Structure 1
């Protein structure tokens, strides 16, 4: 049945703009979709899909894709090649994790035109930092997941609408806690020293690091302290700051403060007065 519908769409010419295969209990994407290069909108919602064919990434003009109410367990990697995509619906699936590279524009394209992303009613616990590289994203719907905290660069997104109700978001309820003694590994101590020296233009470490590929790889994982701005290697102290975004965008009614992940390099920075960062209490 799906193949016959697709054939009818193709008779309209290679300029077919829209195809809907909604609610047909499909377990795989029909052959031939990838041969519609002019396709702009595709609906595969309400089926039994758990993966997409590699060929689907060739739909270079696709601007809207609806994969809602299927059984995807992760965001399909093929989607990142749809450079013209503006609207992506993945609501009502079984997504638990998102690849950290799916939204990172390492090459020209990589979903940088995405304006609306709907991931509601899944089982997502963590949103990747790469999500914040979608500079054109205006609507984000992650309601009904398992999200506690949003990525560090969340405020870089120019969102107009954010829906995040029915998530176990961290709440601003300060409690006292005993601080553990700071113990850094030798690797961490060396990395922090190198980061401090690389800020100096005449440091001989600039040349030494460039000639050592292993060192470059390790130092590329640099984090930056939100308080002092110094670089460090590992996530040493994960904190949260609560941001009031109601004046900037339309947001779920029951969300008053948005918990945003923050990284600090030491308890010295954590104990600095007036910064507004909170440690995360684990029950």
Structure 2
């Protein structure tokens, strides 16, 4: 039957070819003759691999292999240089072949939902044109830092995985519009969220978040889903500490960081000759009250942000956003709305 369909498609010069739901365990090699086809549907079958002959499909831009029995991405796909959309949902895939990923650099959409993937290899960075990446319902425990190379990314769906943390490089995705992270094991989001200035939809429901990262309120979100997290509560308690003793390292670092603000100063010029010191100072922060820099010693506080009032969203929900103050001296000043975080 499949061969007859191939003959008909050849005569009709069809741009799409549908072999979905044919109960196939193998793709007929005759499909390789359809060199003019742009879209190929092979979903809802019992395929475990693809014949190498399919590398002749150099015009193919969309391939649907969803709901089959694949345990890895077929190696022949690395030769399909025109492929832009690839659907692999509902298979038994446990790993992504680095060699295949390196051949899919024109891909704009990759759907790997409902598989058994535990790790994304560093070669994920080869998908330099990817705009939509979906790994809903897998077994991912972490993301590689190379995710930050996917500069054209618009949507990432990582719902229902086992992620305990996110790399801060995810905030390099300046075009990201939708980020779905529901039902993972996230206890925090990395600092630097302000890098996602085009983000409109964020779903972090069903995680373990106690608060959102610094400057979260400056995002221009349209939708935030965050139910099912153990957020900190607003309970007034007096501070039992008025001042702290900073280490010599911290005092020195704060002085250097303050002097380094002047791009024409002696300290800024001198740091270029001490790359080790520059690396040590790279993770500095800024006090939300006095705006002075600090390195490793700060007071963790929280500000309660109303989504409607502070972020111009429809919801009137109030969420906790992390704030960092440089000292108890700042914390004990009057006139601010920051709460210290305490165990009760």
Query: Matches of 2:164 and 2:333 in 1, distance apart?
Result: 37
Corresponding residue to 1:4 among 50, 55, 65: 50
| Alpha carbons 2:120, 2:143 under 8 Å: kept | no
- The answer to whether residue 149 in structure 2 is matched with residue 81 in structure 1 is yes
| CA shift for structure 1 position 39 | 2.6
Q: Greater relative contact order: 1 or 2 (C-alpha under 8 angstroms, separation 6 or more)?
A: 1
Work out the CA distance in 1 between the residues paired with 2:299 and 2:335. Answer: 17
User: Where in structure 2 are the equivalents of 1:183-202 lying within 5 Å?
Assistant: 183-198=245-260
Larger displacement relative to structure 2 (42-51 or 71-80): 71-80
RMSD (Å) for aligned C-alpha atoms: 2.8
What is the correspondence of 1:32-181 to structure 2 with a 5 Å cutoff? 32=100, 34-100=102-168, 102-105=169-172, 111-179=173-241, 181=243
Quote the residue 1:271 is aligned against.
Answer: 332
Contact 2:242 2:332 in 1 (8 A): no
More displaced, 212-221 or 197-206?
197-206
Alignment match, 1:108: none
1:203 to 1:36, Cα distance in 2 relative to 1, 3 A = closer
The TM-score normalised by the length of structure 2 is: 0.71
- The answer to whether the aligner puts 1:259 opposite 2:259 as a matched pair is no
Unaligned runs of 5+ in 2: 1-46, 61-80
Do residues 217 (structure 1) and 279 (structure 2) align? yes
Instruction: Tell me the number of residue pairs that the alignment of Structure 1 and Structure 2 aligns.
Output: 275
TM-score by length of 1: 0.84
Aligned to 2:78: none
8 A Cα contact 1:52 1:78, kept in partner: no
Which of 90, 114, 118 matches 1:23?
90
CA distance in structure 1 between the aligned counterparts of 2:106 and 2:250, rounded to whole angstroms: 52
Q: Which range moves more in the overlay, 256-265 or 226-235? A: 226-235
Contact residue 104 and residue 126 of structure 2 kept, 8 A: no
In structure 2, distance between residues paired with 1:232 and 1:238? 13
Q: Which has the larger radius of gyration?
A: 2
Structure 1: gaps spanning 5 or more residues: 106-110
The change in CA–CA distance for 1:240 and 1:3 in structure 2 (over 3 A counts) is same
